[in-house]
Amino acid sequence: MQTEFLSILKKNNLSVTESRMKILELFAQANGALAHNDIEKKSKLQFDRVTIYRTLQTFVEKGIIHTIPTADNSVLYALCKDECTQGHHNDNHVHFICDSCNVTYCLEHSNSPSVILPKGFKQNRVDVVVSGICLKCNA
Amino acid sequence: MQTEFLSILKKNNLSVTESRMKILELFAQANGALAHNDIEKKSKLQFDRVTIYRTLQTFVEKGIIHTIPTADNSVLYALCKDECTQGHHNDNHVHFICDSCNVTYCLEHSNSPSVILPKGFKQNRVDVVVSGICLKCNA
DNA sequence: ATATTTTTGCAACATTATTGCATTTTATAT
DNA sequence: ATATAAAATGCAATAATGTTGCAAAAATAT
């Protein structure tokens, strides 16, 4: 596990630091997406707020994590799959937010459906966010 | 126009106040969605920031406007169509954010495609946000 | 082992959002 | 039309969130 995080950082030409390793670990442990605040709580007093902001920003730039749009103003982040590279995210999958437990899932195997746009509109990227009740809460 | 705003408020059992009328007007004038901050700027010094927060919140609750998810942390609001009622939004349409001019459109006639979820997940609502180049910027 | 580069923590600051309460405005009942 | 009740507003205080510069510390390269 640790070695996996290590190779992620190496692969992206990032220095291996305690905070980066820890934050990668938190994402791996989480069964869903994390907000900045979640990370802050889970790593209580371990490192500065600013470090978390900067780490998340770096990870997004490098294509290690991606942001998930939400209707409220919270910014969520989740681990990207291998196909993501710097400057190009391949997060063309559906995100699911559970109304009950509030966990956000990346549904890797539900590809975003294509949308028919009016004439003159050129599509660049599509985000699909479904909300409802997740597998666990439904049981 | 004024009478329309008035009936919207009446219909929702809301007192008719200057700020509410003005904010409805701003939404009607805008060719896209508005952020809290847009409203604050456009109504400079007319009313308090807090009033804007509260008005937006009330409008969302009543189903007069709806929020639009965005990948950055900004919260956008747009007028709902008639089918929306208190507690139930019917904003089942695609939102389009122009990467160039940053205007957000509600594409009323592009219905959100249905998404196939994994077993056990129950769908409640779908938000589709497409980004790209809009009609005006494309010309 | 040392020099260079990068990251971190701290402090200060900016922006965005929330709450309580007194005042004002709007709606209601006479 | 006026008095009363109900609701909305503005202000102040506070909280939460996000950003920047810079010195100290840690990681990498030589």
**How much is the pLDDT for B91?**
60
**How much is the pLDDT for A89?**
64
- Residue A123 has its nearest CB partner, among B116, B127, B132, at B132
Residue spans per domain, chain B: 2-138
Q: Which residue of A has its CA nearest to B57?
A: A72
A95 touches strand C (CB under 7 A): no
Q: How confident is the model at residue B82 (pLDDT cuts 50, 70, 90)?
A: low
Q: Which one is predicted more confidently, B82 or B117?
A: B117
B50 touches strand C (CB under 7 A): yes
Which nucleotide is closest to the Cα of A75 by its C1'? D17
| B34-66 residue pLDDT tens | 999 999 999 877 899 999 999 999 999 999 999
Which nucleotide is closest to the Cα of B10 by its C1'? C27
| CATH number for the domain whose boundaries are A2-138 | 1.10.10.10
**How much is the pLDDT for A91?**
62
Contacts (Cβ under 8 Å, ≥6 apart) of B99: A124, B131, B132, B133
**How much is the pLDDT for A131?**
87
Find the DSSP H helices in B43-124.
Answer: 49-62
| A95-118 residue pLDDT tens | 898 888 888 888 877 666 778 889
Strand partners, A58: none
Q: pLDDT tens, position by position, for chain A (139 residues)?
A: 778 999 999 999 999 999 999 999 999 998 789 999 999 999 877 899 999 999 999 999 999 999 988 877 688 999 887 656 666 666 667 889 888 888 888 887 766 677 888 999 999 888 888 889 999 998 8
In angstroms, rounded to a whole number, what is the distance separating the alpha carbons of residues B40 and B116?
40
Q: Which residue of B has its CA nearest to A129?
A: B127
β-bridge pairing B93-98 and B76-79 = unpaired
In angstroms, rounded to a whole number, what is the distance separating the alpha carbons of residues A135 and A107?
12
In angstroms, rounded to a whole number, what is the distance separating the alpha carbons of residues B50 and A71?
20
> Are the C-beta atoms of A62 and A12 separated by less than 8 Å?
yes
CA distances for A21 relative to A3, A30, A61, A81, angstroms = 10, 14, 17, 17
Q: How far is the CA of A54 from the C1' of C10 (A)?
A: 15
